[in-house]
Structure 1
Amino acid sequence: MALLKISVVVPEGEVYTGEVKSVVLPGVEGEFGVLYGHSNMITIT
C-alpha cells in the first residue's frame, strides 16, 4: 500500500509530519477517512 505524506499543524506549530497508510479525521457530519490517491485538501476547524 502506498503511503500518504501528512503534516498536522495547530496554532502553536507543527505536531506531526510523516508518512501514514491512512488518516481518519473529524468532519462536520462525522468522521471521514483519507487514503493514498485522495485529492489534496486543507481544513479549518
Structure 2
Amino acid sequence: MYWSSVLIGKDGFEEVVELDLSNKELEMFKNSIKAVKETNSSLIGLI
C-alpha cells in the first residue's frame, strides 16, 4: 500500500514523499501520527 506525505521545510512545500508500506507498517505509522497529534494537543496549553 502506498502512502503519500508532503515534506514541509522553512520555505514551505519541499517535496511529496511516497512510501510503499505493508499493512502492519501502515498501522504502526498511523499509530505514530496519532501519538504525535495527542502530544501536540497536550502541549498547546503550555505555550
The TM-score bracket by the shorter chain reads: 0.3 to 0.5
More helix by share: 2
TM-score norm. by structure 2 comes to 0.40
More strand by share: 1
